[in-house]
Amino acid sequence: MPNPPTPSESIAPVHVIGAGPGGLATAAALAERGIRAVVVEKSPDVGASWRGHYERLRLHTTRRWSALPGLPIPRSAGRWVRRDDFVAYLEEYARHHRLDLAAGVEVFRIERPDGPGVDAGDWLLSATGGRQLRASAVVVATGFNHTPHVPDWPGAADFAGELLHARSYRAPAHFRGRDVLVVGAGNTGAEIAAELAEAGAGNVWLSVRTPPHILRRATLGWPSQASAILARRLPVGLVDRAARPLARLLPDLTEQGLPRPEVGLYTRVQQGAIPVLDRGLVRAVKRGRVRPVAAVASFEGERVLLADGAELRPAVVIAATGYRRGLEPLVGHLGLLDGAGRPLVHGRQTHPAAPGLYFTGYSNPISGTLRELGRDAPKIAAAVADRIATLERGR
């Protein structure tokens, strides 16, 4: 089969911002269509966000459904891929597809250029070193977990102990023998709390604002992700009802302070809360090694005051309180973000006010982010190819 035609040299290259899984997959899909694409990454290498995660991390999605298009993850990585193995895979992915990576270059702002002789179809990217990068299309792939978020708790600035975001947590050795409060009962908070309990921390508390749905990662060899893929297009109420028996496969932790949620599993997903896949939390709570407590209300000196009136005196507070997308400086002036800072369009769609500007990786699907990034990449590449063909016809 002949290679697709290469776009005219007068057409500016496509710029992909971010060398995480979404950016790499999209750049590879563009290259497959013969489209010049440059991946612009502010860090020294690919996969910067993954490199910064805690050492214990394994993918919650299977090796098969975590691979990006055009290159499988090696079987030697196992079914549940370790952080370091996934980073190595991303490095190999960039080499395998011979991607054009501009590392150490940060894009600060995307806008339409003006002035005489400017192509109306172009975008202008302002980047480090005074660079002005012209692009025929732009794919923003800076990631769902871009900017660590710590709530503005009253008194937190004067807390006498150590307060850090989960982004800064790497391994449990530093916390051995110390009392730790982990705030946030998502997958990150649950795994950190369980690891601290296993590794000899003192008291370990888990602050829970809304009880999460907790599922097994796999049951009799069947991964939870497989069920999620099958269910993702079914009615929400139907999935809520079908998921109830899955919760009963794990012990009821109500007496330990972690009751089962009243709101259905898929309803919570629609609200933005992904289920926790158990990697030791249930056992640790059942044995009293991790103690669920109420939400954090405020700080006073060395004390942490909880919403139910209780107070704790932890040496360390780890805020597993999520991230913000951090897109406002980049595209906020274009009117493309909703009230939560997420793009109004996603995947192959572009906003009528910003044709040729695409976003990938800003959703948190139940079926697995990596799987959906891989599915979005060729669709975005097809849309970009159509755009470039239109630009060439107009010349």
Angle among Cα 127, 132, 135 to the nearest 5 degrees reads 100
Structure tokens at 72: 């499988």
pLDDT at 249: 86
Q: How far is CA 242 from the centre of its chain?
A: 27
- SS3 of residue 358 by DSSP: strand
Beta strands at 14-17 and 138-140: parallel, antiparallel or unpaired? parallel
Structure tokens at 356: 């040729």
pLDDT at 5: 45
pLDDT at 117: 46
Structure tokens at 242: 């079908």
Nearest residue to 240 (alpha-carbon basis) of 216, 220, 213: 213
Structure tokens at 26: 């999209």
Distances in whole angstroms, Cα of residue 353 to Cα of each of 109, 112, 357, 384:
16, 11, 9, 16
Structure tokens at 249: 């496969």
How many CB atoms lie under 10 A from the CB of residue 9? 8
- The Cα–Cα gap between 15 and 99 comes to 12
| Domain spans in the chain, listed from the N-terminal domain onward | 14-146+325-393, 148-319
* 25 dihedral zone (left: phi>0; alpha: psi -120 to 50; beta): alpha
CATH code of the region 14-146+325-393: 3.50.50.60
Q: In sequence order, which residues have a C-beta less than 8 Å from that of residue 336 and are 6 or more positions away?
A: 343, 344, 345, 351, 353, 354, 357
- 148-319: in CATH 3.50.50.60: yes
Nearest residue to 205 (alpha-carbon basis) of 323, 274, 275, 288: 288
Size of the chain, expressed as the number of residues it contains: 395
Q: Where are the alpha helices (DSSP H) in the chain?
A: 21-32, 48-51, 83-96, 187-198, 224-231, 236-247, 265-270, 281-286, 328-331, 369-393
Whether 14-146+325-393 shares its CATH topology with 148-319 is answered yes
Per-residue pLDDT of the chain (395 residues; tens, 9 = 90+): 344 445 445 688 999 999 999 999 999 999 999 999 999 999 999 999 999 899 999 999 999 999 999 999 999 999 999 999 999 999 999 999 999 999 999 999 999 886 544 455 689 999 999 999 999 999 999 988 888 999 999 999 999 999 999 999 999 999 999 999 999 999 999 999 999 999 999 999 999 999 999 999 998 889 999 998 988 888 999 998 988 888 888 999 999 999 999 899 999 888 888 899 999 999 999 999 999 999 999 999 999 999 999 999 999 999 999 999 899 999 999 999 998 899 999 999 999 999 999 999 998 888 899 999 999 999 999 999 999 988 887 76
